[in-house]
Homo-oligomer: A and B are copies of this chain.
C-alpha cells in the first residue's frame, strides 16, 4: 500500500478522553475512531490487525475440530425468557421492538440461540460431541464504557459452544479449547495467565478459567503465588487461612473470648475505618466492618474484619441471589436506626453474613447502630449470632497460598481476554437440548462455552507492546510487516530504489507500507514509530552505494546499514524468528 492513498489519519495530540495508553495510541495512530460512547469504527490499520487476529483465532479453533457458524444478533425475547435471562441480564441487554411490536434482544452472547439450534437438530449420542463457534459482533449496553476497545458496547467476539454426552467428554473438549487459547494468545505475542475464575451470572456447575493479559491498566485483579503456579481472579481467590477455617481446621472453641460486657462509646464523626483507626489509635484488624446490601432487593448485612474488603461475588454466591447492591442511606437508616457509618451486628434483625476471620475475633469494636456511637467488647457468638459464617472477603497481598501452602499471594492487574467455562446442563435443560444415549435414555447435553474478546485483544496487545513513541506490533498481527521510507520524495534515485524494493517485497507476499508522502523525514519517522510496523527500511543517500537503513521497531539499538539486496532475506528471517 502506498501511504499517499492510505487512510491513516494520525494525530499529534493525545485524545482528551482517552485514559488507557492503548486507547490513546489506537486513536493517535489512526486505527480507530469513536462514533459514540463505547462504539468504534475500525479504520484500515485497525481492521487489518483485527483480521489477522481473527485469522489466528479461526486457525487454532478449527484445529480443535470446532466448526464455524454465524448466528444472528437479533434474538427474540421469548428465547431469553425461556432461559430465564431476559430479566436477569438487566440494562446491559439491548432491547428493541420490531415493526409489529415484537420484542427482541441484541445478542450479548449466544447460549440461547445455539442451544435451541442444536436441540432442534441433534437427538442422538451418535451425532455428539459437537463444538460450534463464530466470530461475530456482540452488543452490551455497558454502564460505563471506557478504555477504548477494552470496554465497549459493540465489539467483536469469538464465542464457541460445546455439546457433549458426559462430563468426561466435556473435560476433553474444555482442555482442547484451553490449549487452543494458549496457542492463540502466544501467537498474538501476549503475556498472559490462565486463572481460576468464578462461575458468575452465566451460571453453570463446572470449572471455569479466565485468560488474563497482564497489564497495569487492567480492570481485574489477578491473584498469583510467589512460589507455585496458583493463579485465580479476585472473585475466586481464597487464602490458606480461609481454607483452614472453612475446613474446621483449628479449634475455634479454644479462642479465649473477651469476658467484659458490651459497651457503647461516643465516636462523633468517625464513620470510616480510617477515621476510626486514627481517632481511636487502634489497628483496623480490631474492627468489624459492617456493610448493608440489598440482595435481590432485600437487606442483608455483611461483616468482615476492618482490614479486609468484601468480595461481593462470594456474597452473591452464598445467598444464591441475582443482584447485589450497596444499600442506600435511607435503607441504612431504616435497618440500623443510625446514619451511614455506624452500622454494627448487635441487634440487627436482617440476615448477618459473617466472614470466617470475624467469627474468630476474641473481641472487636463495631458500629452501635446509633449515630456517632460505636460498641466495644463486641464478642462474636455472644453479642451476635454466627448463623451464617463463610468466606466473604477478598484475599490480600501477603495472604498464604492455598495451593502450595507456603508462598505468599501477590495481586497484579490483568485484562480479561478470554474465558473457558463448563456450563453443564443449565441451558440444555431449560431449552430442551436432550439426546438419547446408547442405552436409550434421554439426557440433557453437557455444555461448555468459550469466549475470546477479539477486538479487545488489540488493546491488550498494545498495553503490553508500546513505548513512548507508539505501538510495537508483533509481526504475526501487524497491519504491515515492513515500513519502507524514502528520505526525500523528490530524489529520483531514492524513489526508484524504494519502488523496486516495494515491488520485490510485495511480490514475495510481504505486506509493505511505502511512505511516498511529500513530508519531511521527521514527520515520516514519527508516524512510523507511532503506528508501530515491526520493520523499518529507510532509503536515503546511502542508496548510491546500494545501502539502506534497517531497524526493528522493538529494538532500542540504532538503525543498521544493510545492503538493499539483503532486505528480503532479512525480512523473511525476522518473520520466521518471530
Contacts and interface: CB of A to CB of B under 8 A. Distances in A.
Interface of A: 1, 5-7, 9, 30, 33, 35-36, 39-44, 46-48, 50-51, 65, 67-76, 91-92, 94-96, 98-99, 106, 113, 117, 120-122, 127, 130, 132, 134, 137, 139, 141, 143, 153-154, 156
Given A36-B75, A41-B71, 9 more contacts: A1-B67, A7-B127, A9-B122, A33-B121, A35-B113, A36-B74, A47-B69, A47-B70, A94-B96
- Looking at A40, A68, A120, A156, which has the most chain B CB atoms within 10 Å of its CB? A68
Contacts of A30: 121
Contacts of A141: 98-99
A50 B71 CA distance: 13
A120 B33 CA distance: 10
Contacts of A98: 94, 141, 153
A467 to B, nearest CB: 25
A335 to B, nearest CB: 28
Nearest to A114: B41
A117 B40 CA distance: 11
A156 B65 CA distance: 25
A120 B69 CA distance: 36
Contact of A68 (B47, B127, B143): B47
A378 to B, nearest CB: 42
A156 to B, nearest CB: 8
Contacts of A73: 73, 137, 139, 154
Contact of A137 (B5, B7, B76, B137): B137
A72 B41 contact: yes
Contacts of A6: 67
B72 A113 contact: no
Contacts of A65: 5
Given A120-B33, A141-B99, A143-B99, A154 B69 contact: no
A35 to B, nearest CB: 5
Chain multiplicity (copies): 2
A410 B515 CA distance: 53
A6 B1 CA distance: 40
Contacts of A143: 99
Nearest to A120: B33
Contacts of A134: 47
Contacts of A96: 94-96, 106
Contacts of A67: 1, 6-7, 44, 47
A134 to B, nearest CB: 8
Contacts of A71: 35, 41-42
B72 A35 contact: yes
A76 B36 contact: yes
A7 B130 contact: yes
A137 B35 CA distance: 17
Contacts of A7: 67, 69, 121-122, 127, 130, 132
Across the A-B interface, the 3 shortest Cβ-Cβ residue pairs = A96-B96, A9-B121, A42-B70
A5 B96 CA distance: 37
Contacts of A120: 33
Contacts of A42: 69-71
A371 to B, nearest CB: 35
Contacts of A76: 35-36
Nearest to A42: B70
A140 to B, nearest CB: 10
Contacts of A153: 74, 98
A14 B7 CA distance: 49
A117 to B, nearest CB: 6
Nearest to A92: B99
B72 A39 contact: yes
A434 to B, nearest CB: 16
A509 to B, nearest CB: 14
Contact of A74 (B9, B51, B68, B154): B154
Contacts of A156: 70
B117 A33 contact: yes
A139 B70 contact: no
Contacts of A9: 121-122
A34 B69 CA distance: 13
Contact of A69 (B43, B92, B106, B132): B43
